[in-house]
Structure 1
Amino acid sequence: MRLKTLMLSLASAAMMTACATSPTGRNQVILFSDNQMSDLGSQSFEQMKSELAISKDAKTNAYVQCVTNAILEHVPIQGSFSQWEVVVFDSDQVNAFALPGGKIGVYTGLLKVAVNQDQLATVIGHEIAHVLADHSNERMSHAQLANTGLQISNVALSNQEYRNEIMAAMGVGVQYGVLLPYGRTQESEADIVGLELMAKAGFDSYQSVDLWKNMAKASGGNQPPELLSTHPSHDTRIKDLTAKAASEPKFTGQKPNCSRPN
């Protein structure tokens, strides 16, 4: 779909408010179609691949792909795209993301904190959950309704100002100097859905707790109080994930065996 046509379609979609339900049963306001969000996600991802360094290390790429593939076996088929794409970016950022359209980015810096396949699966499952729960669509819809400057119906990714805001709304804006993180409700929901995915794939769900302990150490204790942050505090996240891990059915199949590079 040409960009001009896409933006006209987005404008038409924004004329009507659609109600939806998230994977955990939460009510959502969704203005844009899956195809429209997939197009925006794909365009954003192509832009990132042209601007950020991509890892050429074969072992690192194979490791990340192995963990991702194990999770994707338990992800429902999506109607707006046929295949997920995984790219490892060569960066010290402790981060990962997934965009509408099935685009997954993992930064090599994350592998220093997610120290085994189970902890990496925690992050990748969490990011995939954001896509499955339409969190980007939800954020962009809220911004459109609130008229906060994100005038999606009139923007193009080639427009630097609004391109940054679109990419931020899809969870990757920090790389471009704009930080619009997912809210606490969305983050907690992605934790729950992501943990379910990794557990179904045979990864150790209790490692999600160890991951966030590692994240807390990596932050150096500089995280703001929970009430001043849009993200759950590390302590809250650890508590909730511990309870969720305890409730997951015991996995009885073949566990993944993804070889972590040295």
Structure 2
Amino acid sequence: MNKLVLIAALIFMASGCKTSPFTGKQTLNFVSNDELFPMSFQQYNQFLSENNVVTGTAESRMVKQVGEKIAVAAERYLTALGYPGYLKDYKWEYNLVKDDAANAFCMPGGKIVVYTGILPITGDEAGLAMVMGHELAHALANHGAQRMSASQVQQGVGLAGGLALGDSKSGQLFNQYYGTASQVGLMLPFSRKHESEADEIGTIIAAIAGYDPAEAAELWKRMQAKSGGQEPMEIMSTHPSSASRIQALTALVPRAKQEAAKFGVTTFKS
């Protein structure tokens, strides 16, 4: 019985693997864009209807201008990677929302929101480009669909393990510890990996759009200063620590500039 459950789980997981255009590696993804995008667009429109969208200001125009530059750069990058039609179903939209939270997000399919609360930290157009590049990268890499898929696997393994082990002592221990163990050992590292991928992809795309990739590390220095060093332990967090991000983003600068140079971009806005 246990072997049959394991074989079924492996077949299910293998059938849901897709290749990332950025890494060339297989990713866990059971959710198609045809399923995900309409739901995402509907949720985005609902969010806008329930929040204070800022229009007609210099800041709102900057959000749209930066978003458009980043989207063009993303298309150029993906075409160069051999995925010219990758963005055909994306419906780009960029909105500034009045909210004190230092946050931004991009829904699957290219629907972006920037909160006014993050603008004092981004500081200028280049800092905003790093934030929007990061959020856009989550959508390009299908991180939302991957998280949904990983959650399905987590739940499926938990159910299969509980059924296979039954009410035995092993089954009781499994049910007691599986949730925490899978969260700390699987889901949180999975999320941190996505954040690191989005940092890398987003910074490269922002560089192709003409923004200085060195600004990404500077942005996170400001984020770190705002937090006052009050961050959860990295192992218990969905995100890498600010220190880890600053180190990785600093090391990424030469590569990002090399990638941008392939598109004729050798001077950068900072």
Instruction: Please indicate the TM-score interval, normalised by the length of the shorter structure.
Output: 0.7 to 0.9
- TM-score normalized with structure 2 length: 0.72
User: Residue 63 and residue 42 in structure 1: after superposition, are their counterparts in 2 closer, same or farther (change >3 A)?
Assistant: same
SS at match of 2:89: coil
Alpha-carbon distance in 2 for matches of 1:73, 1:255: 17
Alpha-carbon distance in 2 for matches of 1:118, 1:232: 22
Alignment counterpart, residue 119 of structure 1, candidates 127, 146, 171 = 127
SS at match of 1:213: helix
2:236 paired with 1:236: no
Per-residue Cα deviation, 1:82-110 (whole angstroms, up to 9, x for no partner) = 53011111111111110112200110111
By how many angstroms is 1:79 displaced? 4.9
Alignment counterpart, residue 247 of structure 1, candidates 243, 252, 255 = 255
Alpha-carbon distance in 1 for matches of 2:23, 2:197: 7
- TM-score normalized with structure 1 length: 0.75
2:39 paired with 1:31: no
Matching residue of 1:51: 50
More helix by share: 2
2:118 paired with 1:110: yes
Aligned AA for 2:225? K
Matching residue of 2:162: none
Matching residue of 1:75: 74
Alpha-carbon distance in 1 for matches of 2:102, 2:222: 11
Q: Is the 8 A contact 1:38 1:101 kept in 2?
A: yes
User: Residue 112 and residue 145 in structure 1: after superposition, are their counterparts in 2 closer, same or farther (change >3 A)?
Assistant: same
By how many angstroms is 1:254 displaced? 8.4
Matches within 5 A, 1:10-21: 17-21=15-19
SS at match of 1:52: coil
Q: Is the 8 A contact 1:16 1:31 kept in 2?
A: no
Alpha-carbon distance in 1 for matches of 2:63, 2:42: 22
2:152 paired with 1:144: yes
Alpha-carbon distance in 1 for matches of 2:90, 2:191: 28
2:223 paired with 1:215: yes
Bigger-Rg structure (1/2): 2
Q: Is the 8 A contact 1:34 1:80 kept in 2?
A: no
Two-structure CA RMSD over aligned residues (Å): 2.5
Q: Is the 8 A contact 2:13 2:28 kept in 1?
A: no
SS at match of 1:147: helix
User: Residue 191 and residue 82 in structure 1: after superposition, are their counterparts in 2 closer, same or farther (change >3 A)?
Assistant: closer
Moved over 6 A (4+): 254-258
Q: Is the 8 A contact 2:208 2:265 kept in 1?
A: no
By how many angstroms is 1:228 displaced? 2.0
By how many angstroms is 1:131 displaced? 0.6
Q: Could you list the runs of 5+ residues in structure 1 that have no partner in the other structure?
A: 1-13, 149-179
Alpha-carbon distance in 1 for matches of 2:13, 2:23: 27
Alpha-carbon distance in 1 for matches of 2:124, 2:244: 23
Alignment counterpart, residue 203 of structure 1, candidates 211, 224, 244 = 211
Alpha-carbon distance in 2 for matches of 1:238, 1:24: 21
Tell me the matched-pair count: 214
Identity over aligned pairs, percent: 36
